[in-house]
Amino acid sequence: MARVDRGSPGAAAPRPGRVLMTADTQGGVWTVAIELALALSRAGVATVLAIMGGPLSPAARAAAAAIPGLELVESAYRLEWMDDPWDDVAAAGDWLLDLEERVRPDLVHLNGYCHAALPFRAPRVVVAHACVLSWWRAVHRRPAPVRYERYRARVAEGLRAADAVVAPSAAMLSALAGEYGALGLGRGHVIPHARDRRRFAPAPKEPFVFAAGRLWDEAKNLAALEKVAPHLAWPVIVAGSDVAPGGVGRRAGESLCSLGWVDEPELAWWMSRAAIYASPARYAPFGMATLEAALSGCALVLGDLPSLREVWRDAALYVPADDARALHAALDHLVRDAARREALGALARRRAVRFSPRAMARRYLDVYAVALAARPPAPRRVCPPSSPSPCGTPCE
């Protein structure tokens, strides 16, 4: 049941009592979803979290279980950006509609695009964490090949159907408009991702450069770090999975010290001690790992992207992703200049604390209010569709 909002800065507005939120187990979507669900819970909004893309780790499941009022519903449907996903996307759509029928949310929050076109009775908010087309353009410097036409059409359809579209940076919102057409006046909103500052905090710094991210993702550009690492006075330590969802992966070069995938407490431990965090990314709509590093007080060396400049402003050094010499110069400068390094680390943490889950939840409540005002929940469907067995393993 929608209620009156007591969490936004403006006048009182309607807010949902229960949100059906999709999430996946890949990348930063899970992290954002869990931070948001916790903050919404503190604001009195319950979340039903519908997981796709594979099983959750025990630690992730425990984190979800600790959130009051959160209901976790798991499946293993392939995600829309994975190879040959469409049968799974269709089955997941039926599963989500059934779920909506059962939990009766006031609002559907989709951390993906295609399912926004489903006939949900509740208003739907789409969050654009990233997209294949803008990823391809940033990484390969040309439009995505024709085999992604179906993806383009389905994403565009989802964006058109959404009552509100949220992106973590204005740069990402702009990229969406470039790839799929203008969103329309007042439908696009920027809400930066957030992280609880108590999960990541600085410790006495040690002389190493840290990087984190999926090694197989070309957007992370860890190849640039491999090139410069042998010429740095400090070791470069990298945390992140080296196996892509399809099973194909990319191993870190020998010049990097690879930790493989690490869980959140271990990641926080490494980041707390790292003096420098490097992410010479080619594509980063926000950069969740960068936020975690900034909260940990690392001096940031980042790819020179509009999105990262928008988020970090003067609290980082920026290098062109393809310029290994510039990356080396920036890292070497910070390795040698302790005062600059410490000042930049302190600046990064001061900037990072602004991206708080509480603020994120409040902004989402504002957008939810806009969506609720634009389209109150429709009456229940008379004949719910049949629910074919999903190819994954739903827990509930």
Partner 1 sequence: MKVALVNPPWTFHGSVYLGCREPHLPIELGYARALLERAGHEAALVDAQARGIDLIALRAEVAALRPDMTVIATAPSYLSWRSPPPELRVPMAAVAALRGHGGLLVAVGPHGSATPRAALRKLGVDVIVLGECEEILVMLAGATESRFWQIPSIAYRRNGIDHVQGGPYAACLRTLPALRWDGATIARHVHHHHRFDAVPDGPSAEMETSRGSPCRCASCARDGARDRLRKRPLATVLDELDALLAEGVRHVYFIDERFLPDRALLEELWARDVVFGVQLRIDSWSREMLDLLGRAGCVSIEASVERPSIEGMDPLTRRCSASTEELTALLVHARRSVPFVQANLSDAGSGDPAETASWRQRLLGLGVWANEPVPAFPYPGSPAYTRRWGAPDDGAWERAHAHYIAEHRTFGDLPDSRPLPLTELEHGAR
Contact between 174 and partner 1 by CB under 8 A: the answer reads no
> How far is it between the farthest Cα atoms of the chain?
69
Contact between 233 and partner 1 by CB under 8 A: the answer reads no
Burial class of residue 19 (count of CB atoms within 10 Å of its CB; 0-12, 13-18, 19+):
buried
Nearer to partner 1, 130 or 294 (CB): 294
What sections of the chain are H helices per DSSP? Answer: 29-42, 58-65, 86-103, 132-140, 149-161, 170-180, 222-228, 264-273, 288-295, 306-312, 324-336, 338-352, 357-374
Q: Specify the stretch interacting with partner 1 by CB under 8 A; choose among 124-132, 196-204, 223-231, 381-389.
A: 196-204
Nearer to partner 1, 308 or 315 (CB): 315
Q: Specify the stretch interacting with partner 1 by CB under 8 A; choose among 15-23, 194-202, 268-276, 318-326.
A: 194-202
Contact between 313 and partner 1 by CB under 8 A: the answer reads no
| 250 and 226 Cβ atoms separated by less than 8 Å | no
Contact between 201 and partner 1 by CB under 8 A: the answer reads yes
Burial class of residue 3 (count of CB atoms within 10 Å of its CB; 0-12, 13-18, 19+):
middle
Least Cβ distance, residue 235 to partner 1 (angstroms):
27
User: Where in 204-272 does DSSP place strands (E)?
Assistant: 206-212, 236-239, 257-260
Least Cβ distance, residue 354 to partner 1 (angstroms):
6
Nearer to partner 1, 244 or 346 (CB): 346
Please give the helix or strand (H or E) that residue 71 lies within, else none. Answer: strand 71-74
Nearer to partner 1, 121 or 205 (CB): 205
Q: Scanning residues 4 to 23, which ones bind partner 1 (CB under 8 A)?
A: 6-9, 11-12
| 61 and 140 Cβ atoms separated by less than 8 Å | no
Q: Scanning residues 323 to 382, which ones bind partner 1 (CB under 8 A)?
A: 346, 349-354, 356-359, 362-363
Least Cβ distance, residue 345 to partner 1 (angstroms):
10
Nearer to partner 1, 197 or 341 (CB): 197
| Strand-pair partners of 109 | 21, 125
Nearer to partner 1, 9 or 145 (CB): 9
Nearer to partner 1, 354 or 380 (CB): 354
Contact between 198 and partner 1 by CB under 8 A: the answer reads yes
Contact between 68 and partner 1 by CB under 8 A: the answer reads no
| 121 and 377 Cβ atoms separated by less than 8 Å | yes
Least Cβ distance, residue 5 to partner 1 (angstroms):
9
List strands edge to edge, sheet with 188-190. Answer: 71-74, 46-52, 18-24, 107-110, 124-127, 164-167, 188-190
Contact between 231 and partner 1 by CB under 8 A: the answer reads no
Contact between 189 and partner 1 by CB under 8 A: the answer reads no
- Cα 184 to Cα 69, 163, 192, 379, distances in angstroms: 35, 11, 20, 26
Residues lying near partner 1 in the complex (CB under 8 A): 6-9, 11-12, 196-198, 201, 346, 349-354, 356-359, 362-363
